[in-house]
Structure 1
């Protein structure tokens, strides 16, 4: 029951919110209502307490904590994969805290979020990125609703509200794929750029199994079997530069059948490379990096990872402080710069160190995109330029390196599949299986996808399905070798050169004298 409390010349109404906790009757603007009479104050307090009991009145102190205070508690309570945690942290520190960090939860309004989205769009962020940041904000505020801190989620978007009808706004860019011949040519160029066969084998394996990049990097020798590859782990790179071993995405453990020719290619690579346990994980991986890795710091001085750890922020936040300080909250920027001064951090480069594993960014920029487009991308003040190649007896030529390489080059590569990414090879494999008429249940198993439909529960993979797929992949591989052989019979990549010579001998063995003609040739 509510009661009236004498406050000098007026009364205020007091009502019970929770055991041992009382609220004061206030008006719509949050100001305490001053009653002239005791009875009037009691009646108003009774009415408010009744609202508390039936759930129509909330504790006015709920949601008063700032978004920054709440999100710190929220982040400590979640436990997700290392990569997901680092992505959440980067998005929160870079995009959410600078805008909402000092605002009380109960004062964040839908119009504030709309204005924030507009600001991100004007700053040049991609639609998909903005969508991701809003989804992260929606998740955090949804948990605040569940805790009873706010009555509703201001980040929830009413379907179609304020948007043109249709789904055109949700369309992403079309994913670029390539053909089996494209996979072969890209694999050859990768090997030309790296100067070894490893990248050729890895690209072909990825293109004909649909494995993710992290699964290729984390493929251990023990999981390469006869006519099959087992996906048990992947190596993913964190913002700190550390490569961590974790289960495949969505726990998509699977065994991938490999055609006889691909099985021989992978086992031949293992026999040549003789993989050894890596110094960082102690496991023996099938593939290793082609060169070196560069780290921040100079002469053993503190690194950017040291700064991030001591400042309690992510690697990406330190990078933003160095390169785009305007997007970082002032308090965070000052804390990071203070740590830099305290550690004596200097921005520079250390001597090159041998890298045990491919890094996603360097693999894409130094190998994959140049192989696909024939162009090195712009780096700092250095403009983009064609890959310098010298024409010789090999179709792909040989890479020209060293000072004045561009001036000494005689030819350049034409694009194979403009816009293709390493992950695009996974899409290419899925499309290739469609082209071969592979049953969906086998495609889902091979890609590591889960189909929760009723029809999928009654479909099962058979040995005949697997054999037909392996035969189809073999036909595609042989057709791509024949097409490559028609372009040029030799290659500067040793493993491909051997394959071309073997294929040429096989084709020649299928040629016999024609019936009734002298010295005539007929291909069987």
Structure 2
């Protein structure tokens, strides 16, 4: 049994955790609790000994574990998708450890979390800081469950903090466009790439709402006569690796496609005759951007090699230019990364890489198509896309002094529109067409767990009305495009325009 032991000016509680092993009752900081009388000390000791007997006792000194020690152990114990693991590693290493690493878990207070959050908000976007705060809360919540600490200092208390100025933390309002704008952005993207792949992919994304990873990971065998099956996605990690994994939230689904869209994708597959990629051994509908791309680095970059090898870009440069200055083990690691990524000096690749890269597509093709501007890249400032004026809507000018030789530039269609915005576009169009929520959720890969959703079912008539509505909007956008110009340098669109013009006669 526990007992109270008299000390100079106070009593302390003593209890057994094992034969011959005594412990003292301490508080959450590991300091001895001083009782005013022997009875209170004995009661606290007996309570602690009761926890030892029922298996719920935890060593109070565990609270002295540093955040860095616990976070490293916590991270190793997680069993998560590669993308989530990558994100957690970034949150912990780049934003949590620099501030909390040496702090004992029990010593972290609400004020410490507030000081950290305020410092982060001075540098980074509020939405990013909110994400990192959620990771901190998750880690400390698990520490509470393990009884290493008694409460979670990262828990936000409702009704606290200033009310004024909160609107400044909101992200920018999402940009959407209409069907004509969606078509014109797809055409411009293909003009910048110099091929049809980007046009077909953008139109498919706009009229199915598929996620970017699902478009990149779409295999030819899942393109059907009146539907597209979402079975896999390719998720790009920070090191450049593309991981073949299940769609987000296991949102496997079959998306109905209008006849014209099925034909567009099928003709594209028949034309390019895709072959299995070396990285996954699967045959994909869309290829990466290769030598046809204008004004940007081709294929894997120096930084991609550095990330894969776990070294700096300077070390990669030394391996390429002064290999004698680099340790043999490091040189071998870098050379292996170069071979795996297919890196070629000068950025010239002999053929299309098997898959798109997220940053290359969005930054150098899609964003200029939507906004009419290339982004800033040292030493160049942001600049309009240089064009030859004819034929409409202009031909992107390439090469040295392209700006000096240009005759025109594009006006913005929807500045701020991103590849992901096509999902917002598709949902908005379905809302406008009066599509039932159950069918919208199915196409978007969302899950509605409400009771109402369980009592709603999708009928063939619902599907037919939606595909008919999407077809009507697509044909109206083609008519609007025909009114601007009856031809296009994008072969897939030019064929559609000619077919539409013939059907109208």
**Shorter-chain TM-score range:** 0.7 to 0.9
Aligned to 1:343: 330
Residues 490 and 26 from structure 1, CA distance in 2 versus in 1: closer, same or farther, beyond 3 angstroms? closer
Residue of 398, 406, 409 corresponding to 2:406? 409
Aligned to 2:92: 92
For the residue of structure 2 that corresponds to 1:490, the secondary structure is coil
For residues 251 and 29 of structure 1, the distance between their equivalents in structure 2, rounded to whole angstroms, comes to 43
Aligned to 2:353: 355
Residues 228 and 262 from structure 1, CA distance in 2 versus in 1: closer, same or farther, beyond 3 angstroms? same
- Say if 2:487 is the partner of 1:490: yes
Matches within 5 A, 1:447-462: 447-462=444-459
- Say if 2:192 is the partner of 1:189: no
For the residue of structure 2 that corresponds to 1:235, the secondary structure is strand
Q: CA deviation at 1:51?
A: 4.4
After superposition, the C-alpha distances for 1:333-374 in whole angstroms (9 at most, x for unaligned) are xxxxxx99983699x985234521111111111100000011
Contact 1:12 1:32 in 2 (8 A): no
For residues 101 and 34 of structure 2, the distance between their equivalents in structure 1, rounded to whole angstroms, comes to 34
Aligned to 1:521: none
Q: CA deviation at 1:77?
A: 1.1
After superposition, the C-alpha distances for 1:466-490 in whole angstroms (9 at most, x for unaligned) are 1111110110011000000001111
- Say if 2:381 is the partner of 1:378: no
Aligned to 1:49: 45
Matches within 5 A, 1:212-361: 212-291=211-290, 292-296=298-302, 303-307=306-310, 343=330, 350-351=344-345, 352=347, 353=349, 354-361=352-359
Aligned to 2:294: none
Aligned to 1:71: 71
Contact 1:51 1:57 in 2 (8 A): no
After superposition, the C-alpha distances for 1:269-324 in whole angstroms (9 at most, x for unaligned) are 011111111111110000001213123279xxx7332226xxxxxxxxx79x99xx
Aligned to 1:387: 385
Contact 2:208 2:443 in 1 (8 A): yes
Aligned to 1:520: none
Deviates more, 1:164-173 or 1:98-107: 164-173
Residues 416 and 10 from structure 1, CA distance in 2 versus in 1: closer, same or farther, beyond 3 angstroms? closer
For residues 31 and 453 of structure 2, the distance between their equivalents in structure 1, rounded to whole angstroms, comes to 61
For the residue of structure 2 that corresponds to 1:98, the secondary structure is helix
Q: CA deviation at 1:18?
A: 3.0
Aligned residues between the structures: 472
Contact 2:110 2:154 in 1 (8 A): yes
Contact 1:231 1:254 in 2 (8 A): yes
Residue of 469, 477, 483 corresponding to 1:480? 477
Q: CA deviation at 1:430?
A: 0.4
Contact 2:208 2:257 in 1 (8 A): yes
Deviates more, 1:155-164 or 1:474-483: 155-164
For residues 279 and 177 of structure 1, the distance between their equivalents in structure 2, rounded to whole angstroms, comes to 37
Aligned to 1:514: none
Q: CA RMSD in A?
A: 3.2
Aligned to 2:295: none
- Structure 2: gaps of 5 or more residues: 291-297, 317-325
For residues 80 and 308 of structure 2, the distance between their equivalents in structure 1, rounded to whole angstroms, comes to 21
For the residue of structure 2 that corresponds to 1:293, the secondary structure is coil
Aligned to 2:293: none
Q: CA deviation at 1:24?
A: 3.0
TM-score with structure 1 length normalisation? 0.83
For residues 251 and 112 of structure 1, the distance between their equivalents in structure 2, rounded to whole angstroms, comes to 38
Deviates more, 1:129-138 or 1:494-503: 494-503
Residues 458 and 297 from structure 1, CA distance in 2 versus in 1: closer, same or farther, beyond 3 angstroms? closer
Contact 2:212 2:420 in 1 (8 A): yes
Aligned to 1:130: 129
For residues 435 and 44 of structure 2, the distance between their equivalents in structure 1, rounded to whole angstroms, comes to 66
For residues 154 and 194 of structure 1, the distance between their equivalents in structure 2, rounded to whole angstroms, comes to 51
For the residue of structure 1 that corresponds to 2:23, the secondary structure is strand
For residues 34 and 277 of structure 2, the distance between their equivalents in structure 1, rounded to whole angstroms, comes to 75
For residues 501 and 189 of structure 2, the distance between their equivalents in structure 1, rounded to whole angstroms, comes to 23
- Say if 2:412 is the partner of 1:425: no
Deviates more, 1:212-221 or 1:173-182: 173-182
Q: CA deviation at 1:52?
A: 2.2
